[in-house]
Structure 1
Amino acid sequence: MLPPVIAGVDGSAESLAAADWATREAARRDRPLRLVHAWNWRPRQEDGGPGTAAMGVPPTPLSQWGRHQARRILRQAKERVRAVAPGVRPYDQQVEGPATAALLKASGEAELLVLGSRGLSGFTGFLVGSVAQGVVARAIRPVVLVRADEEATDEHLPAPGGRPSILIGYRDVVLGVDLGDPCDAVIEFAFEAARLRGARLRAVHACRQPSPLRLGPGEIGLLDGPRRAEEWHGFLSAVLQVWRDKYPGVEVTETVTEGRARSVLLRASSGAGLLVVGRHLTDRPAGPRIGPVTHAAIHHAGCPVAVVPHE
């Protein structure tokens, strides 16, 4: 069986938006769709936990209640899926245990995992809960975070007059490229996402003005601003050339901008349909971490964010 696109659902608006997005992505990739709900039963003594049976008190069937809630939540999500794409036949799974651990286990056999993040107003960005953040930090497969108000029309360019439409072409896929450590898995994910959508791919690299104590590779740090950017642009073109050859139908633009990577990437993703960033799969003494650029992307980008883990 082909690896499925998995959506984690808990009945919230953001998880239902994630299920909608996952449905469209499963159809684009011609992959099965799986809806996963994790519930955690931790009985207290007064609820029939250990010790109550010895006192002659029958246990309260909280596990039955949890399974009933799971069925209700999964049924609601499946109804949304059928409305989004009648041809997609999702299958569902309910698991007992901590949500982060359950979703991580499920994601190990997925094409990608889709989770929700609740959009907030103003400049405060998105509220990425502890479950989503824990999954992003530890997953070995790509994870896509989708905001609560994301709709199908948000993936597409507006119709004339600015009206939302799903009949116009897709918005750009934006790829953040770290030329100090370019990763094939991240680049390939972005090219494939652009190909599936018939969208343009915008590859973005942020370069910093070197300090006297830290020059760039070779002698790039000794060049003036315009020449330095030109050299970085040449590096970016060289890194992407093999993928241009592999995906000749994908239109690609390359941008090198001086500034902090997180700020450059967030500006570039404005108006995009998808932002693709990477995360190192490294074991640290303090445990898995989300890098500062990826952290900024999942909290502040105005579009769905795909976090692709890599060595």
Structure 2
Amino acid sequence: MPPTVTVGLDGSPESRAAAEWAAREAKLLDASVKLVHVWEPVPQAMAQAPLLGAETHQHWTERVPREATEGFRLRHPGVEVVSEQLPGRPADLLAEVAREVDLLVLGSRALGGAGGFMVGSVGLSVIAHAERPVVLVRAGEQAADEHTMDPAGVPSTAAPFRPVVLGLDTTAPDEDLIGFAFEAALRRRTSLRVVHGWYPPPYYGYAMPADAELHASLAASESTALTDVLRPWRHKYPDVEVLEECRCGSAAELLIDRSREASLVVVGRRVRRNPLGARIGHVTHAVLHHGTAPVAVVPHG
């Protein structure tokens, strides 16, 4: 059965950017697109108001997916698209949708002047509970943004894709996470930059600044571990150029920096059955808010 790229749609510029990214990804995957519009029924008190009645509210909620689907078909005539409308709380229903789809795409909006992006409570809740990959796309994301500069110094869809960036923890590498990143690079015909940030064990803390030999030894050990993890994947994907980057320091900062020249950033989220609620992880959380490329979050055990 062909894969489907599913988009959470609410009519906002963020969700429209997510739908455009989904269309581009569907073409790479030879997949269809499903637009899912979740709307909250009006409370009874509002339904009795003359200007905000239930019928008026329903008219507008039906208009959003209908117009979005019509516009999508005009812009992307080669991509099959269907739409679905679901009543209920967006966070709950989209998290439920995310359990069953191949890939879910949501939007995020830029924080004016703050150098970051706003991932709303719905997006964070969906990511924290999803059991399938979720991609966050910022408002205003354009197809050209994913490509390198043309000879005139302007991003162009005629130019090659920028690299895919993968954040990898060598102490607990997951096959689903690594495989997702390699497949994304392969279908874009671009390189895969694997980023691993590390810190020395706490008991080395005082010795590290003054002991260059100790630092070099730890750096070599971390680099070897990264190479060892990626070796079988290099053999499995010989057509993907792999660039390894292993540095002492914050993995989040490294990934945020590398996102500026990426077509897609891939990070993981460890699935934990926590009685206090689901968690995203500080590295993934930071990249979601401050990365400047679309971010794919891949849940794993």
Is TM-score (shorter-chain normalized) higher than 0.5?
yes
Amino acid at match of 1:202: R
Q: For 1:85 and 1:91, how far apart are their aligned partners in 2?
A: 13
Who is 2:73 aligned against?
Answer: 82
- For 2:282, the equivalent position in structure 1 comes to 292
Structure 2 matches for 1:246-265, cutoff 5 A? 246-265=236-255
**Does the 8 A contact of 1:23 with 1:84 survive in 2?**
no
Paired position in structure 1 for 2:11: 11
> Is 1:110 matched up with 2:107?
no
Counterpart contact for 1:202–1:253, Cα < 8 Å: yes
**Superposed displacement of residue 213, structure 1:** 6.5
Coordinate RMSD, CA, aligned: 2.3
- Secondary structure at the residue paired with 2:266? strand
Select 1:283's aligned residue among 268, 273, 276: 273
Q: Is the 8 A contact 1:18 1:146 kept in 2?
A: yes
Does the 8 Å contact 1:8/1:103 carry over to 2? yes
SS at match of 1:193: helix
* TM-score normalised per structure 1: 0.89
- Normalising by the residue count of structure 2, what TM-score does the alignment of the two structures yield? 0.92
Cα deviation, 1:288-307, whole Å, max 9, x if unaligned, reads 01100010010000100000
Match of 1:37 in 2: 37
Contiguous gaps of at least 5 residues in structure 2: none
User: Do 1:20 and 1:84's aligned partners in 2 also have CA atoms closer than 8 Å?
Assistant: no
Gaps of 5+ in 1: 50-58, 216-220
SS at structure 1 position matched to 2:203: coil
SS at match of 1:150: coil
Q: Matches of 2:54 and 2:84 in 1, distance apart?
A: 16
Structure 1 residues 291, 243: CA separation in 2 closer, same or farther (over 3 Å shift)? Answer: same
289-298 or 233-242, larger mean C-alpha shift: 233-242
- Contact between 2:46 and 2:53, CA under 8 Å: does it hold in 1? no
Task: Determine the C-alpha separation between the residues in 1 that align with 2:75 and 2:240.
Answer: 27
Please tell me the residue identity of whatever aligns with 2:134: V
1:198 aligned onto 2:189: yes
Amino acid at match of 2:275: P
Aligned counterparts of 2:70 and 2:137: Cα–Cα separation in 1 = 19
Offset of 1:61 from its aligned partner?
A: 9.1
Query: Higher mean Cα deviation, 224-233 or 196-205?
Result: 224-233
In the TM superposition, what is the alpha-carbon distance from 1:158 to its structure 2 partner? 1.4
Percent identical among aligned pairs is 45
CA spacing shift, 1:46–1:156, aligned 2, 3 Å: closer
- Separation in structure 2 between the aligned mates of residue 60 and residue 268 of structure 1, nearest angstrom: 49
TM-superposed deviation, 1:62: 4.6
Please state if 1:146 is matched with 2:137.
Answer: yes
Give the match's secondary structure for 1:94: strand
2:214 match = 224
The answer to whether the 8 A contact 1:19-1:77 is kept is no
1:101 to 87, 92, 101: 92
SS of residue paired to 1:169:
coil
CA contact (8 A) 1:276 1:308 kept: yes
Question: Aligned partners of 2:71 and 2:205: how far apart in 1?
Answer: 53
Once the two structures are TM-superposed, the CA of residue 60 in structure 1 deviates from its matched residue by 9.5
Q: Is the 8 A contact 2:195 2:251 kept in 1?
A: no
Q: Which amino acid aligns with 2:200?
A: Q
